[in-house]
Amino acid sequence: MVSLNFTLIAQVVNFIILLVILAKFAYKPLLKALDDRRAKIIDDMDSAEQTRLDAEALKKEYTKQLANAKKEASEIIDKANKSAQTMHETMLQEVQKDKENIMAAAKEQIEQERTQALQDVRGEVIALSTQIAGKLMRQQLDSAENRAAIEKLTDEALTQKQA
Amino acid sequence: MGIAEAASSGGVLEYMPKEIYPGIVINMQTLYMSWLTMAIVAIIVFAATRNIKEIPSGIQNLVEMFVEWLNGLMDNNMGVAGRRIAAPFVITLFLYLFVGNEIGMLPQIGVHLSSPTNDVNVPLALALMVSVTVYIYGVAQKGLIYFKHLIEPFAIMLPLNILEEVAKPVTMALRLFGNILAGEILLEVLYKLVPFLVPNVWIGFSLVIGFLQAFIFTMLTVIAIAPAFRSEQK
């Protein structure tokens, strides 16, 4: 029932035939495909990891740049504010100075004109008085008449002056 | 006796020995079943590898699943370098045993299907091949110094080591042979005792045993081959 015979040899031959055929035609592509796929997956995962690291580095850099830009912007604004403030003060001072200059000039001119006017009036009064005195001296001195004459002369002189 | 008569007479153990040349006896049933098993394995593997796609589907997926699994076993035991060399042998061995073990459980309509592994010649042939393969790999990897493991750790252990080298294939072969033969005999007995349901449950169980024995045999093969590559890893 259980006996060893040449089936054993036949089986060895059978198995070797099967092994050779499969190894030659089937396993090579199959095992290669498996290895290739494994390599590809490892490769893909590596490159994905690399891409992730790159993206992270890029993000870090952008964040840094953004912070820098913000800082710069606020610096620029500060500077502008400061310079505007300075300009404002300078202009205020200048305006104040101008105002004082103008006021001083105006005052001087007014003083001058007043002096001039007084001088003019004085000259006029002197001339007028001289005229009146002359005319009075030339005329008869009658109290009432004199008075009327003086008034008349004065009026005439004034009219003359006004004319 | 033809195949049909063998089935109807319940001849699970009908190996149909035939003296093809004087003194050369071959069990024809075993030989036919072995050829059938080879054909099925070859068809499955060729179908899976005929049009290899990067994203596997269908039968390629199935075969790749087994191959990846065996590759994992080999990677763990003999390293990637050893796996590249031993993979075809181990994968073929597993597929042959798996298909061969299950063939005897198929419905026997008209033809008598038996597992080739239910003939002690077949498991013994495979086990001896494993032993020889181990020595071939060992000598190929390390040279004749590989034989030194027979006198380790002491020279006095030589007889015991030789006994172990002989016992290993014999136990491997008998374990497989006994399990498969017992499964088929019990199935036949169950058909005679309870024609319905119970044999089907036993078939389910036997299919698991068939896979398990194929796996055990393959695993022992991997473990036996591993030392041939191990010092490579140092």
Partner A contacted by B54 (CB < 8 A): yes
- Quote the pLDDT of residue A107: 94
Q: How many CB pairs under 8 A join A and B?
A: 107
% of residues, chain B, pLDDT over 90: 25
Whether the CB-CB separation of B25 and B18 falls below 8 Å is answered with: yes
Rank A20-29, A95-104, B18-27, B134-143 by mean pLDDT and report only the highest.
A95-104
CA distance A34 to B137: 23
Is the pLDDT at A7 greater than 70, yes or no? yes
| Structure tokens that stand for B223 in this block | 């473990």
CA distance B168 to B159: 14
The letter for the amino acid at B66 is: F
Is the pLDDT at B115 greater than 80, yes or no? yes
CA distance B171 to B128: 11
CA distance B94 to B41: 10
Is the pLDDT at B148 greater than 70, yes or no? yes
Partner B contacted by A95 (CB < 8 A): no
Question: Are the Cβ atoms of B125 and A15 closer than 8 angstroms?
Answer: yes
- Quote the pLDDT of residue B118: 85
State the distance between the two ends of chain A, measured CA to CA, in whole angstroms.
Answer: 172
Query: For residues B72 and A33, which has the higher predicted lDDT (pLDDT)?
Result: B72
Is the pLDDT at A96 greater than 50, yes or no? yes
Question: Are the Cβ atoms of A7 and B119 closer than 8 angstroms?
Answer: yes
Which of A1, A3, A9, A11 is the mutation pick for testing B, counting most B CBs within 10 A?
A11
Q: Determine the average pLDDT of the residues in B79-93.
A: 87
Whether the CB-CB separation of B16 and B1 falls below 8 Å is answered with: yes
Domain ranges of chain B: 3-233
- Quote the pLDDT of residue A142: 61
